[in-house]
Structures are given as C-alpha cells and as structure tokens.
Amino acid sequence: MSLAGKTILLTGGTGTFGRKFTELVLRDHDPKAIRVFSRDELKQYNMRIDFDDDPRLKFLIGDVRDRDRLYRAMNGVDIVLHAAALKQVPSCEYNPFEAVKTNILGAQNVIESAIDNGVQKVIALSTDKAVNPVNLYGATKLCAEKLFIQGNAYTGGRPPRMSCVRYGNVVGSRGSVVEVFMKQRMTGTITITDERMTRFWITQKQAVEFVIMCIDLMQGGEVFVPKLPSMKTIDLADVIAPGAEKQIVGVRPGEKIDEVLLTEEESRHTLEFETFYLIEPEHKFWNLEQPDGSGGKPLPDGFRYTSRDNGWIMTKDELRSLFGELETV
C-alpha cells in the first residue's frame, strides 16, 4: 500500500518515532496529509517550526483517552500509526492507573474509532518489554497488542486491518540509556545496573522504515518483529564514556537482565523471513493462504529470540560507529 496521496493519523506524533516518521514520509512518500495527534501544544509548535509549516502537516491537540476526539480526528483517514503511550517504566509503576488509561483504554479507543471511521489499516507500535512482562509498562503493552490483534474479529472482514510491530530499544529516543550516559559522562561516573545486561538495538530510521514496510505487507492480525543486533550495556558505557568510573547500582524494579522479542510459544506460529519474523494469529479470522506468508519458513521447535542469544552482539567498534553517527545528527 503506497503512502502517496494517503491521509495518515499519527498518535503520539511529537515523540521520537513520530518526528522521524514524519521526516521520512514527507521527504520520500508524498502523503496527502499527516495528522499529528498529541497532547502537548508546545511540542506541536516546535515541530511545526522544525518542519517549516509544511502544508501537509496538520496538528491536532488530543488524548487517546478521549474517544470522541479520536473519532473526529480519524474522519477521512486512510492509515493510523498508533505510537502514543506512557513508556517510562518507573513512571508507569508509580502511576499505574494512568498507564492503564493511556496504554490499554487508549488502544481500545483507537481501535473503535478506526472501525467506525472505515480506516483502511492500523499499525500499533509495541516493545520487547511486552514479552513475558515483569513491569506494568510491559503488561499494558502486552494487553494493547492483544487488543489490536483481536480487534480484527470486530471488523467482519471489512476495514480496518490491524497489526502490530514489536521491536527493542531505539537509539537516541527520549529517556534512553544513551541519553543517560551522555549526561553522566560529564561527571566522570557512569551508573550500571548490572554488568551482564543486554538489549536489542534499533535506530530511529530503521524503526520507521520497518514500520513503512509492514504497512505494505500487513494483512491484519500479524505481529512483525525485525531481526536486530544486541548490545551489552557495559560496552555502550565504555564507548560513550571511555575511562569513566563505573558504579554498579543493581537491577531496578521491573527491569530484566536480557530482553525477549519472541517466545518459544509464539515461535510455533511464526514464520521467518530474511530480515524479520512474522507472528501469525491463532484465530479464525486469519486466512493462512494470505500472500504475506509466502516465502517464510517455520521456526524450529523451542526457538526463542533473546538479546543475549540472537547471535548478533554489536562490537565496541560497531557501537562507536553508531554513536558517532548519532552525535552528528
């Protein structure tokens, strides 16, 4: 599905993903309009200035908790990208009711508004923390995934088709470990929660390009998982702040040593492609003969995709190259 001439609604559009998605789609895909839907008028104002008041950008103040506002915002929309979420783990732990209202009830509001407005396709952004979640943020994103996949049961074969994209840490996103280490290196001391910790790693550009590809491939009901490199957090600290003292502070509540993008149970109904995995739904609305499954191969029994055992751990030189690119952006 080409994005050219399409009207796209982007929830959480002033966030890290939203800004990069807007940049690349305006530059390369010539949409009719991108509606940036978010709560913060200052961020919208700054984004409008940064994009030189591009006439294809429409800024809509609203909250995904407000179904009526979403309903109005989706009128005439072809594609919805759902990126709005409360995502900081400590914040969600301390404000659990708010996390549920935004990440779960907000997802339901997006789905119902998209169905009622006849949107063609909806993709929701998920996270590795939704897999075997150990914190409330991950649990709310797991619920959101289930809502979007099972939301296809409400459409009766009509639009919209709804799918999810699940990936790992985004390089340079707000509140990321890169941002923390860059601030800490000025003090000469880096805090490490655990020397064994690993994380999946994806750049902003890669995340956006993967989502755009999935919009084209999706049939409705899939979870798309890109094949990603991993990094050791302690190696990243060495690259960002060479020579700095490392202070081990212990694993924080709700934090894992390693992340998982694909479980053994999911692998039983997953197809492997060259650059991604496609988790098929296990329910009747899924047509196994749909074309996006062509060329994929089943995974071996017991397959599990983790940040420690994925066979693609970035070296310090690779991290230096990536970090150097990030500093010049």
Q: Is the dihedral of CA 130, 135, 141, 143 positive or negative?
A: positive
Cβ-based neighbours of 124, under 8 Å, separated by 6 or more: 82, 107, 110, 144, 145, 148, 162, 163, 164, 165
DSSP string, 274-292: SSEEEE---STT--TT-GG
How far is 190 from 197, CA to CA, in rounded Å?
A: 15
Cβ-based neighbours of 294, under 8 Å, separated by 6 or more: none
Annotated active-site residue 87? The verdict is: no
How far is 268 from 280, CA to CA, in rounded Å?
A: 9
Supply φ then ψ for residue 305, to 5 degrees. -105, 105
Burial of residue 200 (CB within 10 Å: 0-12, 13-18, 19+) is buried
The active-site residue out of 129, 141, 232, 256 is 129
Angle between helices 41-50 and 16-28 (to 10 degrees): 30
How far is 282 from 247, CA to CA, in rounded Å?
A: 46
Are the beta carbons of 189 and 158 closer than 8 angstroms? no
Maximum Cα interatomic distance, the chain, rounded to a whole number of Å: 60
Residues identified as active-site: 129
